[in-house]
Copies of this chain bind each other. A is one copy, B any other.
Amino acid sequence: MWDKYPFIREEVAALEEYILEKFPREGEFLDLVSKNVINSGGKRLRPVLAILSAMFGDYSREKIFPVAAALETLHTATLIHDDIIDNAETRRGQPSVFSKHGINMAVYTGDYLLVKALLLLSEAGLPTEKLKDIAKAMEALCLGEVEQYLSRHRLITPREYLKRIMRKTGILLSASCALGAFVTGCPEEQVRLLGRFGMYFGTAFQIRDDLLDLEATDANAPEIGKPVVNDLKEGIVTIPVILAIRKNDTLREQVQNYFEGMGDVRNIVAGVMRSGGHEEARRLRDRYIDKCLHILEKLPSAEHRKVMEDSVLWLQEEVQPIPA
């Protein structure tokens, strides 16, 4: 994803080195498993947004790497535990820790990475207030995940949806950007702006993810790396569905029936499409994309700002089905 930007690619490679060095013990199974998971790729969205935000200030790896590494480690921990909840066989195209080593090792490895993130944060020498911001973001993430888990098979409102994804994705991305800007000494107003940018980015990102899940077919699913229409299958209504059933009672009933074990998920996907759910969701996503771009305009023009603009626009790209 960052291949087009050599100066970012270089930072990401150095950061990955830096993270892997935090798991040096050959004989420790936890270090081995952690290293493998971290090595298995991923977009590195949180650390890269932190790094890009940090570039508005007096950038140095020394300042940003402990924070960026903590964010990625934290994110990896949540993925490992999520895979337990989702019974996920694969992650990033590799067998998940859960499927490879069992539930117990997945619980332990996630905990270990959470603790490692705390260790990295303690090395970042952050003031209490900022540490609290990250802890608050993690708290929101837990609350969001559990709210979603407990609301399976329930049709939520757009407002409930937005609250959920801000907790699940927005707040940590917001903290990533704000923290990145903070550690390199950006003025308070920039820290605040970048914090808002992260929140909007996260919201648009999640809507995009929802669209991908609905649009994924068996042909292009390997590209996304997860089963098709996974959300509905797990009993979770995503924004295209939520928006479509608002004015289509038949579809609402179909979804309810599906959650009770009746009907075919393909009919629902087709129904959402016909009711304009995809279109409306895209428009909602684009509203958040506009908010992101609007904030970037207020920040000094620079090469890294351009990368941020590009990554915002990337949220708009459609997945291309792989030709059969």
**Residues in chain A within 8 A of chain B (CB atoms):** 28-30, 81, 84-85, 103-105, 107-108, 110-112, 114-116, 118-119, 121-123, 125, 128, 131-132, 134-136, 138-139, 142-143, 145-147, 149-150
Contact = CB atoms under 8 A, between A and B. Distances in A.
A107 B135 contact: no
A169 B128 CA distance: 28
A135 B115 contact: yes
Contact of A119 (B29, B116, B139, B146): B139
B29 A108 contact: no
A145 B108 contact: yes
Contacts of A131: 118, 121-122, 131
B146 A105 contact: yes
Contacts of A108: 81, 85, 142, 145-146, 149
Contacts of A146: 28-30, 105, 108, 112
Contact of A122 (B28, B85, B111, B135): B135
A276 to B, nearest CB: 33
Contact of A29 (B28, B116, B123, B150): B150
Nearest to A142: B112
Contacts of A135: 115, 118-119, 122
Complex copy number for this chain: 2
A139 B116 CA distance: 7
Nearest to A82: B107
Contacts of A85: 104, 107-108
A314 to B, nearest CB: 30
B111 A110 contact: yes
Chain B CB count within 10 A is highest, among A105, A108, A128, for A108
Contacts of A116: 139
A131 B128 CA distance: 11
List 8 tightest A-B contacts by C-beta distance, closest first.
A119-B135, A122-B131, A122-B132, A112-B142, A115-B138, A118-B135, A85-B104, A108-B146
Contact of A104 (B112, B142, B149): B149
A147 B112 CA distance: 13
Nearest to A86: B104
A81 B121 CA distance: 23
Contact of A132 (B107, B123, B128): B123
Contact of A28 (B84, B114, B143): B143
Contacts of A125: 128
A128 B145 CA distance: 30
Nearest to A116: B139
